[in-house]
């Protein structure tokens, strides 16, 4: 008589998935506001855009939806080495949300996709709890996701993750850089560290070149482990930026914004500049965090390459009207951001010049 085989024998466990779903449900529910339409065991997430004055103080007059998608890159290799899975969930949210708010958008909801070799409910729960924490930091709802167990695609202990975010912006409040002009002030918001870009180079320096183990303590990094420093989650600027823009409902004092991801300042600031302007930034305007100095020295890596790959301590840039630069700085500082006056907009050809 032929032996019957099961799905689990092929490497996929339906039971483990059910345990995982049960574990993460409370973390997900904590991100839901009144706009989320709850559907138990639904096949898709529902989110309300229409106005109900009993529920919402705010409605959108001429809304445009804004969407983003991204991953965490090879930072997940550090998480694997440290067996720490919660912080990369925050990174996943940050990578899309920080891009979205550049346009002046308000985050609405987020979805995640996790792909693993083997579904271990405790590890997936950590990842999703991190994603939920990132959504709370962004004031957006986690309304859906997918976990795929694929032993033939991913090796043991390997995983990957992707995120998808949707937000909204009033059509007449879009910030696209078209208002940037000579004399505008460039403000920089401090990063929390390496964020989630440049990890192929960071890992090459720290783990291949210097032969560090993830849990090695490094004197130059306040005796923290190299894994701990590299896993510091990406700072999410959504609450600060959305709150600030809400303070200027008539005047358009923020002329452009840029999320400093892969490409650094020199690669991302030009994306929001008119072709007749340059952003001239003073490199002495802020103190570069120790991790960047450590990698530059130990690589060694040329300074030009460091600024082309990493954020170097500036995670987000705003170009603002000069008369409002001080008040914006004060407001964001009170809200918890560390703000630097980086430089000014000058006549040019659409470049970011570091001096």
Q: What is the pLDDT of residue 38?
A: 74
Which residues partner with 63 through β-bridges? Answer: 170
User: What is the model's pTM?
Assistant: 0.89
Task: Give me the residues paired with residue 352 across strands.
Answer: 279
Which parts of the chain sit beneath pLDDT 70?
Answer: 1-28, 39-43, 50-59
| pLDDT value at residue 62 | 85
Whole-number pLDDT of residue 318: 98
Closest CA to 335 of 253, 248, 245, 239: 239
pLDDT score recorded for residue 71 = 96
pLDDT at position 36 is 72
Residue 296: CB atoms within 10 Å:
19
pLDDT of residue 181: 96
* Angle subtended by helix axes 14-29 and 121-138, to nearest 10: 20
Cis peptide before 300 (omega within 30 of 0): yes
Query: Which domains can be identified in the chain, with CATH numbers?
Result: 10-173 (3.30.1330.10), 185-354 (3.90.650.10)
Both ends of the chain: CA-CA distance in Å?
Answer: 79
pLDDT given for residue 267 in this prediction: 96
* Three-state SS letters, 220-265: HHCCEEHHHHHCCCCCCCHHHHHHHHHCCCCCCCEEEEEECCCCHH
- Average per-residue pLDDT in the chain? 90
pLDDT of residue 56: 55
Cα angle 76, 78, 84 (rounded to 5 degrees) comes to 85
> What's the order of all strands across the beta sheet hosting 352-354?
254-259, 314-320, 185-190, 339-347, 277-281, 352-354
The whole-number pLDDT of residue 11 equals 61
Contact by Cβ (8 Å): 45, 109: yes
Sign of CA dihedral 18, 20, 21, 22: positive
According to the model, what pLDDT value does residue 37 have?
74
């Amino acid at each position: 008589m032929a032996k019957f085989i099961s799905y689990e024998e092929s490497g996929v466990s339906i039971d483990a998935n059910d345990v995982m779903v049960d574990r993460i449900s409370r973390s997900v529910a904590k991100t839901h506001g009144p706009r989320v339409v709850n559907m138990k065991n639904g096949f898709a997430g529902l989110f309300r855009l229409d106005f109900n004055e009993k529920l919402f103080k705010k409605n959108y007059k001429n809304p445009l939806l804004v969407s983003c998608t991204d991953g965490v890159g090879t930072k997940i290799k550090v998480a694997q080495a440290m067996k720490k899975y919660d912080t990369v969930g925050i990174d996943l949210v940050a990578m899309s949300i920080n891009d979205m708010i550049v346009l002046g958008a308000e985050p609405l909801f987020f979805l995640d996709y996790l792909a693993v070799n083997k579904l271990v409910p405790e590890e997936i729960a950590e990842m999703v709890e991190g994603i939920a924490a990132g959504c709370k930091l962004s004031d957006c709802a986690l309304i859906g996701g997918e976990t795929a167990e694929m032993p033939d695609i991913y090796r043991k202990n390997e995983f990957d993750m992707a995120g998808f975010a949707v937000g909204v912006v009033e059509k007449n409040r879009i910030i696209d850089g078209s208002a940037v002009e000579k004399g505008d002030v460039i403000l920089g918001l401090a990063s929390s560290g390496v964020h989630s870009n440049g990890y192929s180079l960071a890992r090459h320096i720290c783990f291949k070149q210097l032969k560090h183990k993830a849990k090695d303590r490094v004197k130059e990094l306040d005796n923290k482990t190299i894994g701990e420093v590299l896993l510091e989650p990406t700072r999410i600027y959504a609450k600060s930026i959305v709150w600030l823009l809400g303070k200027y409902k008539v005047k358009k004092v923020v002329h452009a914004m840029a999320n400093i991801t892969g490409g650094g300042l020199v690669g991302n600031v030009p994306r929001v500049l008119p072709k007749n302007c340059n952003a001239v930034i003073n490199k002495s305007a802020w103190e570069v965090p120790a991790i960047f100095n450590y990698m530059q020295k130990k690589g060694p890596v040329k300074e030009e390459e460091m600024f082309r790959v990493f954020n170097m301590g500036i995670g987000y840039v705003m170009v603002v009207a000069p008369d409002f630069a001080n008040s914006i700085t004060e407001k964001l500082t009170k809200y918890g951001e560390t703000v630097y006056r980086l430089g000014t907009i000058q006549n040019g050809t659409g470049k970011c010049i570091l001096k």
